[in-house]
Amino acid sequence: MAGSLAGMVATVATYPTDVIKTRLIVQNRLEPSYKGILHAFYTIYHQEGFLALYRGVSSTVLGTVPFSAGSLFVYINLDKIWREPSNHFTPLQNFINGCLAAGVAQTLSFPFETVKRKMQAQSPYLPHYGGVDVHFTGMIDCFRQTVKHKGVLGLWSGLTASLLKVVPYFGIMFSTFEFCKRVCLYRNGYIESPLSYKLTPGVDQSLQPQELQELKLLRRGNFESRKLQAKETHS
């Protein structure tokens, strides 16, 4: 819950930059309406008002629901897909897991992404209303007009290009996260190697890292003490 709320707040706080990026992309390059990021921000604010910088934000927020649901569905079924516990996954399996989760989640949420981009681009101050292929008055009307003129599949227009970016991104991120987690476990003595989750024999996995280090120092001290006593006995 906290992570979802934090992500939502961050999205809302940075959303105007996403609108500006879209406007800079769709503007006429021969006769640009915006000279740069700051000029675009200033122009949109003064011509269309502050709320224009948040046009389409409702679609973004709603799109997080199917995206999160798709990711969660894949995540909880990974052990069934591979037929082994998740702690036995190899780095390649973790990469595939990230790609699969991102592919499903992005496909489910993409209609909201399509509507968001159309809402961001549409402006009466840009040539051809920002180059959008349908005209609408709001998010619901944008869904309706897109389906009416482009068909249902029009909501997934551009999905392939989006997947080419999102899928490897999440695959690399997911596998890197899992590998870094294993490195931390290995450095703290919980597992034998960062390339596997094979537990270190004789280590209580319930101990905190600091407690484990203290136990190691205690054992090392006892070993050195016994070693010194043995030398004194032989001498």
Reported as a single tens digit per residue, the pLDDT across 105-136 is: 999 999 999 999 999 999 988 888 888 888 89
Residues 134 and 216 in one domain: no
Residue with tokens 């909501």: 155
pLDDT category of residue 83 using cuts at 50, 70 and 90: confident
Between 73 and 42, residue with greater pLDDT: 42
Angle at 162 between CA 11 and CA 112, to 5 degrees: 50
223: pLDDT strictly greater than 60:
no
Residues 113 and 146 in one domain: yes
Among left, alpha and beta (phi > 0; psi -120 to 50; other), residue 29 is: alpha
Contact yes or no for 104/71 (Cβ under 8 A): yes
What average pLDDT does this structure show over 131-148?
92
Residues 231 and 161 in one domain: no
The pLDDT of residue 84: 79
Contact yes or no for 25/120 (Cβ under 8 A): no
Give the number of domains in the chain: 2
The CA distance from 95 to 178, in Å, is 9
153: pLDDT strictly greater than 60:
yes
The CA distance from 225 to 222, in Å, is 5
The pLDDT of residue 60: 92
Beta carbons within 8 Å of 151's beta carbon, 6+ residues apart: none
- Tell me which of 28-42, 147-161, 184-198, 203-217 is least confident: 203-217
Look at the alpha carbons of 226, 227, 229, 233 in this order and tell me if their dihedral is positive or negative.
Answer: positive
Q: Which of 21, 16, 110 minimizes the C-alpha distance to 62? A: 110
Residues 66 and 162 in one domain: yes
Q: Which residues pair with 199 in a beta bridge?
A: 191
The pLDDT of residue 46: 95
Angle at 6 between CA 105 and CA 40, to 5 degrees: 85
The pLDDT of residue 231: 59
Residues 174 and 214 in one domain: no
Between 39 and 129, residue with greater pLDDT: 39
Look at the alpha carbons of 30, 36, 38, 40 in this order and tell me if their dihedral is positive or negative.
Answer: positive
- Tell me which of 77-81, 150-154, 173-177, 219-223 is least confident: 219-223
Whole domain around residue 181: which residue ranges? 57-187
Residues 61 and 121 in one domain: yes
